[in-house]
Structure 1
Amino acid sequence: MAQAALEHVNITVSDPEKTAQRLCELFDWKIRWKGSAKYEGFTVHVGAEDSYLAVYAKGTPGDPAAESYFTRGGLNHIGVTVDDLDAVEAKVKAMGYAPYNHADYEPGRRFYFDDEDGIEFEVVSYA
């Protein structure tokens, strides 16, 4: 039996087009699909050939949860691997985000940043 693989994660954001464009710039991803979605919403699928993030906004957005780590079923962070951690961190800073929680650990290096929707991204390099 073949091992299962994660295909996608669907997250709610304030502006799917803007979020998808930013992710393309940061991680050299591409837009795989975009269109109408449930609850009169709109979704953009952005990622690589074998996996992606579905970034979604419904017609009338609700308030974000105060702290995802205290919400059962909450999204804590999205981890993305990159070859050149320093280059991606420079892009993150150029976009106005503040990287934090840098760490060198076996087997790699990492940092985190929060986007304007409060979504925490962990950027990791094993290179």
Structure 2
Amino acid sequence: MAILEHVNVTVSDPKATAAWLGAVFDWKIRWEGDAMSGGYTAHVGDEGSYVALYTPNMDIKDPLHSYTTRAGLNHVGVVVDDIDAVEARAKAAGFKPHNHGDYEPGKRFYFDDHDGVEWEVVSYA
């Protein structure tokens, strides 16, 4: 069996992104520090998996739309127990949930963060 351990996403400010990920998903910083090419990285998650938040030591250009970019990150899916509580925390963090769905076998919504990364929140409870 294979288990996804982490994904690595380039963001404008790893510390700020780590802060809202902690507030919305109750994740912790597992590690942070210097990264390749003079950049900076923070690993945020739980004991089993995490999101690596990387920023290079250079200006970041605005990307094209991810769904039309080869190897673009379309969204990150996070499974939660209490979708209503997580949606409330996402709103409190300043995000605008959209594309709500109630489908078999669960419920979902999406929101876009400050860097344009789309997050899908899913509950199978």
Common fold, TM-score beyond 0.5?
yes
TM-score, normalising length: structure 1: 0.96
Identity of aligned residues (%): 62
Partner amino acid for 1:107?
A: P
Unaligned runs of 5+ in 2: none
SS in 2 for 1:5: coil
**Greater than 6 Å deviation, 4+ residue runs:** none
Number of aligned residue pairs: 125
1:69 aligns to what? 67
Residue of structure 2 aligned with 1:113, choices 93, 111, 119: 111
Residue of structure 1 aligned with 2:15, choices 7, 12, 17: 17
In structure 2, C-alpha distance between the alignment counterparts of 1:80 and 1:40, rounded to whole Å: 30
In structure 2, C-alpha distance between the alignment counterparts of 1:78 and 1:89, rounded to whole Å: 15
TM-score, normalising length: structure 2: 0.97
Unaligned runs of 5+ in 1: none
- Structure 2 counterparts to residues 20-39 of structure 1, below 5 A: 20-39=18-37
- 1:41-67 alpha-carbon deviations (Å, 9 max, x no partner): 000000011110000101113213120
- 1:20-45 alpha-carbon deviations (Å, 9 max, x no partner): 11101111111100000011100000
Residue of structure 1 aligned with 2:6, choices 8, 24, 48: 8
2:97 aligns to what? 99
Give the aligned CA root-mean-square deviation in angstroms.
Answer: 0.7
In structure 1, C-alpha distance between the alignment counterparts of 2:34 and 2:27, rounded to whole Å: 21
